[in-house]
Structure 1
Amino acid sequence: MDTLVDDSSAKLARRIQLERDARGWSLADLAERSGVSKAAISKIERAEVSPTAVILVRLATAFDLTLAGLLLRAEGDAGRLSRAGEQPTWRDPDTGYVRRQIYNRPDHPLELVQVELPPGRQVEFPASAYARIRQALWVTDGELVVHEGTERHVLQAGDCLGFGPPAPVVIANQSTRPCAYVVALVRN
């Protein structure tokens, strides 16, 4: 199984720089579009730091990509079949959340992601992360609290939430056990 943090940090760093260069953007341009500081982007591109999920979402959104799309581009293209042992994973260095890219292809509208969120941890995403996608979240194990704008949803294993209009989102595991969930998303 590929783990972007362990053996592909350099690939991710190169991909971010390639995406920026392909658009003719300076560090300042990307910083303005993403809300991530020039210094942080520079360190990420030099593979001096591993970006958090929040930072990667902001960068991906600036490139008009989903997080999955950015990670897939960093790892290279895959075929129609996504074998379990070949699905790339990524660990957020800040929260310890582990994200497995189950399925994503540039020629297919659907992306599937499996996430394990450690107990007592949360991940926050800006509304801009949801501007060009529609998604549903299905809890497969544990309990999850989702704050979507002003709405609060408590989800148990088996529950599924379809997200509404773009809003800031906080996904929190307030329990004492890990929580696993699957995200299905399509681009608008």
Structure 2
Amino acid sequence: MSNIVDPLVERIAVRVRAERERRGWTLNELAEASGVSRAMIHRIERGESSPTAVVLGKLSAAFRLSVSSLLALAEGEAHGSDGTAGVRRYGDATEWRDPDTGYRRRQITGPRFPAETAEIRLPAGAAVSYPAASFAFARQVVWVLDGRLTFHEGTTVHYLGPGDTVELGEPAPCTFANEGGAECRYVVIRAQADRP
């Protein structure tokens, strides 16, 4: 087995631990708040396990943060040290891959931009679910670029094709599913809201 440590897994480990400690929570308290086992959280915080998209969704919901925030690149990477706008090259972007589904996520906007924007590539046959709490205190739009996306928003199902968008309503459990035979590529745009 390789001893090479994935830098993104290390950054996720640091971020999860920092968010937990910032709240003064024990591992048990985070496990209770998120529904993720204490053992899994411990492995994530030690950089021994790359969390799945579902686990990240549960942790982000417990922290009242977005998944993008947990995967955010280091402050200032997309900006000059003086806070001015910067250029992000496609080849320089960090891409996170869900070890369970092959779902890939690349952050488009930097940490100082007022709306989080991420590009998602969902393989054929894959599905990723998030709890309703992942969508609290946020307004979110999903924009399909390529392929077909079956989006379950609570009990409502949206069938989306290239160019279609859906603006999420009140927080509800959501599932992003690719029931087609080709990869689906879509963009998620998320802005903070004052209330859930």
Q: What TM-score do you get using the length of structure 1 for normalisation? A: 0.91
Matched, 1:112 2:110: no
Q: Which amino acid aligns with 2:127?
A: Q
- Structure 1 counterpart SS, 2:48: coil
Deviation at 1:64, TM superposition (A): 2.3
After TM superposition, list the pairs within 5 Å mapping 1:94-133 onto structure 2.
Answer: 94-105=100-111, 107-133=112-138
Deviation at 1:43, TM superposition (A): 1.2
Q: Over aligned residues, Cα RMSD in angstroms?
A: 1.4
Structure 2 residue identity aligned to 1:97: Y
2:149 maps to 1:153: no
TM superposition shift of 1:87: 2.3
1:177, CA displacement in angstroms? 0.4
1:184 partner SS: strand
Write out the 4+ residue segments of structure 1 that deviate beyond 6 Å after TM superposition: none
CA contact (8 A) 1:104 1:110 kept: no
Q: Which residue of 2 aligns with 1:76?
A: 74
The structure richer in helix per residue is 1
Whichever residue aligns with residue 180 of structure 1, its letter is: R
Q: Looking at secondary structure, tell me which structure has more strand per residue.
A: 1
User: Which sections of structure 2, spanning at least 5 residues, go unmatched?
Assistant: 80-84
Percent of residue pairs bearing the same amino acid type:
46
Partner of 2:82: none
**Partners of 2:7 and 2:115 in 1: how far apart?**
27
Structure 2 matches for 1:1-188, cutoff 5 A?
A: 6-72=6-72, 75-77=73-75, 78=77, 79=79, 80-81=85-86, 82-105=88-111, 107-188=112-193
Question: Aligned-pair distance for 1:86?
Answer: 2.8
State the number of aligned residues: 181
Shift of 1:11: 2.1
Unaligned 5+ segments in structure 1 are none
TM-score (norm 2): 0.87
Counterpart Cα distance in 1 of 2:115 and 2:45: 28
Higher mean C-alpha displacement, 93-102 vs 19-28 = 19-28
Q: Distance in 2 between matches of 1:125 and 1:137?
A: 14
Deviation at 1:180, TM superposition (A): 0.3
Matches of 1:16 and 1:101, distance apart in 2:
18
Rounded to whole Å, the distance in 1 between the matches of 2:57 and 2:24 is 20
Letter in 1 for 2:165: C
CA distance in 1, matches of 2:64, 2:91: 29
